[in-house]
Amino acid sequence: MIRSRSSRNNVLILLDDVDDIKQLEALAGSRNWFGSGSRIIITTRDEHVLVTHKVDQVCPVTLLSHEEALQLFNKHAYNKNNHVNNYDTLSSHMVSYAAGLPLALKVLGSFLYDKDEKEWVSSLARLKDIPDMEIMEKLKISYNGLKPVEKELFLDIACFFRQTLFLGHAMEIFEACGYHPDIGIKVLRQKALITMDDDFLDMHDLVQELGYYIVKGDHPNDPETHSRFLENTMYLAGVTMENHKIEAMELYPCWYGDGASSRVYKIVSNMKKLRWLRVFQNFEDHAEGPSFLSNELRYISWKHYPRSPFPDCFQPMKLVHLKLTHSLQNELWMGYKHLPHLKVLQLDNMKNLHRTPDFDGLPCLQKLELTNCDKLTEIHRSLGNHASLEQISVSKCDELRIIPTIVQMRKLKTLEIERCHKSLEFLEIKSYMESLVKLSLQGMGIDSLLSSIGERCGNLISLRLILCYHLKIVEVNFDGLIYLKIFALHKLEYLQMPICNSTPLRHWYGNQLSSWLQPSWTLSLQKLDLSNCNLTDGVIPNDICELSNLRELNLSHNYFTRFQFSLSQLTQLKVLNLTWCESLVEFPELPSRLAILRADACWELEAIGDLKNKCTRLCQVSLMFGSSMKDGSRLLECMLQENDNHNMIMQLGGFEIAKGFISPILRKSRRRLQLPENWHNDFSGFLICAILSDDYRYCSLRMKKVTSGMESEDDVVWEESHIGGHRTVFWYIPFASFYRHTAWWNSIGNEVFFCL
């Protein structure tokens, strides 16, 4: 009926608070239901509804600024017949509590309309302990629409993981708990219950209050009835009865003074239904550990677990992830233990650990990490027959002498045996390992590499032998390693190896090479690292110019004054690193395709030469830390003239902001730039200049477009830097590059935000 009546008419329809795709299909099923000039506006708590219905544009509703929030709050709270002393101060506090959420501003303003000053103060104090019921129940509508597993995920994030843990680490816990977090987090974001801030999970203050409100339920003052442990340990210090309610705990015994660890062990021993547990203790504890650990546990992370093994009654059949750091145990448990679902075992800085568990009892183990286990002398022989392991990493285990022979490990993808005792022999490989793609023996005392690697590791991509000081002979037949891309040989002084004809090797690293033999396969080399090689004038062989496929060349931390060969012959070179070449006095003629040039701390460098007609693709230059180079302004001008269609960044030392730039952007603040009418018709791009001090260890430039008052959904991150030091940074962002981002070309905005 709607379609038949409206198909020839231009209509304006507002569909408010839609939460089911069936509602849209019934009321606005297709564009051809309405006239060509019609506008359909849909509001919803669930972005997925809009995406599924294939709407033309999604406009997220942003939070109100402080000024906008004050206006809305005053509209509902201000009562000219009821004068309140300190109204401006109190209303500002209320607005800060609401944090830009219109719902909260309206509810709180209406509630305070007829209240006096004392009641305002009392209300504000009460909100810090007890959230407003009306706000919570309205916010809870989105929570009620979640599936049970999504509700559990939301509550864990609200109670424990808001801006506290890197997303990757949080995902480990969520996976162990069976939350299927990849889809779960997507759903929570679409329902605006959580956001992402860099690599952390985040949410609005009141949405987090909602999580606490749900967890506390009908007994907010009785933490023993809550599903998640939110209170100070002191509240449960005297718990002697079993607890079957609490499912998740995060404990910091170091916060609570002497004897706190004993109370923590007592608390944990009484928790019968724990799903996951994280304990962070900053001191060694020789006391007896917990007498009981919940068999429902799926994830354990414990720093400084005491000397005693896990309790004999601990049979965690559901345990997926076990992480112990700085613990004092000689062994994890007595005898054999069957953990059918354990996938990750991480043991770090276990100073007293003598032996590993029997891996036959861990049939689903996928990842094993053993780091800084000083007294570990043996790894159980069952490791060599493990059918599920995909990653093994053993490093800095000084007393380890023997690693089991690999008999059957067909799923193993990564094997890292690094910086262990010099007498440790590399394990023997007796079966074909079709899944192994990465092998690292960094810092090992081996003097030869066995031929079995070439014969039984045919899919190897990366072979790293960095810091293998005693390695002299490589018996590997590289013709059998047809996929090998990275071959790292740092700190070698001499290497004798068979010539290979077919392997397309792409990366070669070599430090302190006094004899460099170039097999024929180096012609396909794409990355060459000769940093820290003590190279002086004339040492680099002229044959380097024959590396016709070279993409990256690192010559940093060397002592030559100029190049004795023609670098311009490397026609495919895109990245050149000359950082800390302190004696370098002049640049060579650079390759025409060079895109990134790093020459920090080149103290003697005075000139860069003419780049205008030679390096037309140069887009990133760094000349920091003491360079006496004087023509940075000319370099910037040359780069801008040739940068019509791609981004450019330049970092210089000892410069100041050039004339013509508007007032600076303070860190973690935003600068709004009003754009002229029809600016996009005659516009080259944005040129931004910033002075960064030594404390800027991480820096990113973000941009947002504003169209009709609506900000674009996603920040556009143009550049990141992890280098400290006082410096001047120039960014050039051409308008042509915006076309890769639909948020920019779907509609033309009239304002832009910059954030540093």
Is the pLDDT at 641 greater than 50? The verdict is: yes
Q: DSSP assignment, residue 591?
A: P
In the prediction, which pLDDT does 207 show?
94
In the prediction, which pLDDT does 234 show?
45
Distance CA 379, CA 389 (A): 14
In the prediction, which pLDDT does 394 show?
95
Is the pLDDT at 118 greater than 70? The verdict is: yes
Token pair of 689 as six digits: 């200049």
Least confident of 50-59, 286-295, 512-521, 647-656: 512-521
In the prediction, which pLDDT does 76 show?
92
Token pair of 118 as six digits: 């004392």
Residue 156's pLDDT band (cuts 50, 70, 90): very high
Distance CA 23, CA 64 (A): 29
Q: What is the mean pLDDT of residues 726-750?
A: 61
User: Percent of the chain, pLDDT > 90?
Assistant: 30
Average pLDDT, the chain: 80
Burial of 269 (0-12, 13-18, 19+ CB in 10 A): middle
Q: What is the mean pLDDT of residues 52-60?
A: 88
Model confidence, pTM: 0.71
Chain Cα centroid distance, residue 69: 33
Q: DSSP assignment, residue 297?
A: -
Token pair of 79 as six digits: 């009562």
In the prediction, which pLDDT does 689 show?
78
Distance CA 44, CA 58 (A): 11
What's the CA dihedral at 417, 422, 423, 427 to 10 degrees?
Answer: 20
Is the pLDDT at 42 greater than 60? The verdict is: yes
Residue 746 vs residue 119, higher pLDDT: 119
User: Percent of the chain, pLDDT > 70?
Assistant: 75
Q: What is the mean pLDDT of residues 655-684?
A: 64
Q: Which residues of 695-709 are buried (b: 16+ CB within 10 A; e: fewer)?
A: ebeebebebbbbbee
What does each C-alpha distance from 11 to 25, 39, 335 come to in angstroms? 17, 6, 76
Q: What is the mean pLDDT of residues 623-641?
A: 63
In the prediction, which pLDDT does 322 show?
97
What does each C-alpha distance from 342 to 280, 363, 709 come to in angstroms? 22, 8, 51
Give the DSSP H/E element, type plus range, for residue 371: strand 367-371
pLDDT in tens, 128-139: 888 999 999 999
In the prediction, which pLDDT does 500 show?
40
User: In DSSP terms, which residues pair with 378 in a beta bridge?
Assistant: 355, 402
Coil, strand or helix at 328: coil
| 470 φ/ψ angles, rounded to the nearest 5 degrees | -95, 0
Is the pLDDT at 521 greater than 70? The verdict is: no
- Contact present, 571 and 589 (Cβ < 8 Å): no
Distance CA 720, CA 705 (A): 20
Least confident of 358-372, 444-458, 577-591, 661-675: 661-675
- Contact present, 663 and 639 (Cβ < 8 Å): no
What's the CA dihedral at 335, 336, 341, 345 to 10 degrees?
Answer: 50
Most confident range, picked from 28-42, 252-266, 491-505: 28-42
Distance CA 49, CA 19 (A): 7
| Strand pairing class (685-692; 727-734) | antiparallel
Distance CA 658, CA 652 (A): 12
Amino acid making up residue 393:
S
In the prediction, which pLDDT does 685 show?
76
In the prediction, which pLDDT does 414 show?
96
Q: Which of 456, 376, 447 is nearest to 415 (CA)?
A: 456
Least confident of 265-279, 418-432, 623-637: 623-637
In the prediction, which pLDDT does 82 show?
78
151: Cβ–Cβ under 8 A, 6 or more apart, which residues? 143
Q: What is the mean pLDDT of residues 205-211?
A: 94
Token pair of 51 as six digits: 């995406």
Amino acid making up residue 559:
Y
Can you tell me which residue has the tokens 């006391």?
287
Coil, strand or helix at 481: coil
Give the DSSP H/E element, type plus range, for residue 368: strand 367-371
Is the pLDDT at 738 greater than 70? The verdict is: no
Token pair of 369 as six digits: 């990490």
In the prediction, which pLDDT does 490 show?
57
In the prediction, which pLDDT does 550 show?
85
Residue 123's pLDDT band (cuts 50, 70, 90): very high
Residue 671 vs residue 148, higher pLDDT: 148
Looking from the CA of 454 toward its CB, the CA atoms found within 13 Å total: 15
Amino acid making up residue 377:
T
Q: What is the mean pLDDT of residues 723-740?
A: 66
Least confident of 474-488, 601-615, 658-672: 658-672
Token pair of 181 as six digits: 């977090």
